């Protein structure tokens, strides 16, 4: 084994623990899980604080990642999702001949990370990469609601069209339906003349990552056909082995 800086190794191990945690951590807890004495831990945390990697939760001694580290970690994760779904989005497009997307949950909204549309149609869906959409008014958002932990009462159930779901009770029923059948459909709920179909996307560890699917003109896809396409997309994304 090559020589390495023990203090740096300890500092990085502490940073990893903070990065992996979904809740703030204390110095005492970090001492316990890393078997490091309080004096050494104090020096390591002070260094990480000074270098801007971590910060204290306001008026407490609880430690979290700094904003800059959150942004770096978040960017890397999103880039991985885009990279790992490139081929899948191509396959979905060629299967359906409709624009395909991958979306994730971001600040109680759908964030579109990537899309593929190789058609030569004059009327095409707009470039949505980097844009947000409401969770309750399209298929991608419904999948995120079905597989992420989102408090429905915190959502602004704004009415966009006559088809938009605007009550928590109806939205909960729609979410349960998505969980049962494994796909979601949005038919002119966000914009007149547009439909969307989405299914959940899991990584190799069976962890929910986000949602993939299609969107296009409802003139090409009626409600009956949308269910047929949804099942085909689901089988493509979740092949039976």
pLDDT at 240 over 50: yes
Grade residue 71 by pLDDT with cuts at 50, 70 and 90: low
CA-based angle 191:185:229, to the nearest 5? Answer: 115
**How far is it between the farthest Cα atoms of the chain?**
68
Token code pair at residue 229: 């396409």
Average pLDDT for 74-101 = 91
What is residue 219's predicted lDDT score, i.e. its pLDDT?
Answer: 87
Average pLDDT for 49-56 = 89
Residue 92 to residue 213: CA distance in whole angstroms: 7
Residue 223 to residue 225: CA distance in whole angstroms: 6
Convert the pLDDT of each residue in 203-215 to its tens digit.
Answer: 888 889 999 999 9
Grade residue 113 by pLDDT with cuts at 50, 70 and 90: very high
What is residue 170's predicted lDDT score, i.e. its pLDDT?
Answer: 97
Grade residue 192 by pLDDT with cuts at 50, 70 and 90: very high
Map tokens 């979740």 to a residue. 238
pLDDT at 92 over 50: yes
| Structural domains of the chain, with CATH | 6-65 (1.10.10.10), 74-237 (3.30.450.40)
Across 17-93, where does the E strand assignment appear?
A: 54-56, 63-65
Q: Report phi then psi at 110, rounded to 5.
A: -85, 130
Token code pair at residue 48: 């990480």
Map tokens 């929910």 to a residue. 208
Residue 121 to residue 102: CA distance in whole angstroms: 21
pLDDT at 74 over 70: no
pLDDT at 39 over 70: yes
Report the C-alpha dihedral over residues 22, 183, 102, 206, rounded to 10 degrees: 50
Residue 184 to residue 179: CA distance in whole angstroms: 9
What is residue 210's predicted lDDT score, i.e. its pLDDT?
Answer: 94
pLDDT at 223 over 90: no
What is residue 241's predicted lDDT score, i.e. its pLDDT?
Answer: 43
Token code pair at residue 161: 């069209």
Residue 29 to residue 47: CA distance in whole angstroms: 18
Q: Report phi then psi at 95, rounded to 5.
A: -70, -40
Grade residue 1 by pLDDT with cuts at 50, 70 and 90: very low
What is residue 5's predicted lDDT score, i.e. its pLDDT?
Answer: 72
Do residues 106 and 74 touch, judged by C-beta distance below 8 A?
Answer: no
Of the two residues 138 and 123, the one the predictor is more confident about is: 138
């Amino acid at each position: 084994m090559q020589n390495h800086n023990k203090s740096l190794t300890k500092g990085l191990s502490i940073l990893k623990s903070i990065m992996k945690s979904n809740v703030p951590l204390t110095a005492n807890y970090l001492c316990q899980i890393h078997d490091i004495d309080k004096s050494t831990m104090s020096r390591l945390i002070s260094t990480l604080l000074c270098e801007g990697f971590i910060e204290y939760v306001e008026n407490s001694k609880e430690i979290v990642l700094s904003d800059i580290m959150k942004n770096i970690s978040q960017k890397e994760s999103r880039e991985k999702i885009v990279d790992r779904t490139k081929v899948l989005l191509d396959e979905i497009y060629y299967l359906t001949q409709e624009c395909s997307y991958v979306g994730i949950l971001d600040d109680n909204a759908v964030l579109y990370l990537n899309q593929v549309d190789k058609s030569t149609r004059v009327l095409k869906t707009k470039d949505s990469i980097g844009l947000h959409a409401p969770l309750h008014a399209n298929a991608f958002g419904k999948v995120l609601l079905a597989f992420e932990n989102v408090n429905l009462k915190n959502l602004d159930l704004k009415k966009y069209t006559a088809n938009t779901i605007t009550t928590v009770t109806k939205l909960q029923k729609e979410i349960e339906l998505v969980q049962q059948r494994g796909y979601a459909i949005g038919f002119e709920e966000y914009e007149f003349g547009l439909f969307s179909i989405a299914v959940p996307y899991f990584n190799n560890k069976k962890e929910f990552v986000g949602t993939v699917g299609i969107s296009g003109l409802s003139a090409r896809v009626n409600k009956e056909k949308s269910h047929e396409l949804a099942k085909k997309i689901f089988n493509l994304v979740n092949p039976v082995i």
